[in-house]
Amino acid sequence: IKGLEVGPKDAPPVLLFHGWLDNCHSFLPLLTALPNNRRYISLDLTGHGYSTHKPAGTYGLILDRVADLENIRNSLGLEKFTLIGHSMAGILSMLYTATYPDRIDKTVVLDSIFPFVKEPSEVVKNLRKSV
């Protein structure tokens, strides 16, 4: 996973993930307008920008990306963070937040749709089983 990071290392972390046809640099205009008292980490999802692709024979399901995001959080050593997702990553952000609400301070979704079609209690139960 590749990306860019701006802001103080000891500031509250904000992870930013881009839409389907974008990369981590898509957030550069937004980053100039956000407060400078946060640690912003904008990452290329697998198969986008400078990040590598998934191995041959694997699928790119959105639920796989929930597991990827959890692995990223763990690798960065983040206990709690704010999550900003655009378009496809907006759906990813909502799914991650529903699956791991205790790890999220805030979730911001830009230009996306709501992915759930079941009762919230069923969605969380099913997500936890599938990840």
| Residues marked as catalytic | 87
| DSSP per-residue string spanning 28-94 | HHHHTTS-SSSEEEEEPPTTSTTSPPPPTT----HHHHHHHHHHHHHHHT-SSEEEEEETHHHHHHH
Which residues make Cβ contacts (< 8 Å) with residue 68, sequence separation at least 6?
Answer: 1, 45, 46
Residue from 64, 74, 75 nearest 130 by CA = 64
- Quick one: tokens of 22? 């974008």
DSSP state of 130: H
* Inter-residue contact 113 to 86 (CB < 8 Å): no
